[in-house]
Amino acid sequence: MEERFPIGQFQFDGEITNNVTKSWINEIEDLPGLLRDAVKDLDNEQLDTAYRPGGWTVRQVVHHLADSHMNAYVRFKLALTEENPVIKPYDEGKWAELPDYKLPIDISLSLLEALHKRWVKLLHSLSPADMEKTFMHPESGEVPVGKNIGIYAWHGRHHLAHITSLYSHKGW
């Protein structure tokens, strides 16, 4: 297992079918509960432990997931309501250094639970034509909505694995 990418990087070369997207949507739906379960017994010292040398703390990972998934939700809505909009990237590393990343994690866990309910409702409503809509990421290029569902299903699993692998490694 590689500490930076414990489940590997996102890769999907197959056809993005209805079954594939349903599976990804289920993963997005399940993430808040899995995340809450993974951190429920951690104390402040454990929450402030980095998952790898030079990496974020568990607390930062939880707050990052909330920030990242809020941005993702907005990007989906932009792609669904505008013609290939250019989205604004953000410096996630600098965001992780801001004072709100020191807050108790329950704030971001609750935010993720509410956000994912809305996001999953939106994703379940998408038509095949919606899946083909795109947004333009200035660094990554054109991103189709269907593929972006997979990217964020992976993103949740990726950061959850940071936490659970640290948990295992430390014997917590």
Q: 122: which 2 tokens?
A: 């939106």
Helix (H, G, I), strand (E, B) or coil at 82: coil
**pTM score, whole prediction:** 0.95
User: The CATH number of 44-170 is which of 1.10.357.10, 1.20.120.450, 3.20.20.70, 3.40.47.10?
Assistant: 1.20.120.450
Residue type, 157: R
Q: What is the pLDDT of residues 112-170, one digit of tens each?
A: 999 999 999 999 999 999 999 999 999 999 999 999 999 999 999 999 999 999 988 89
CB 116, CB 108: distance < 8 Å: no
The pLDDT of residue 7: 85
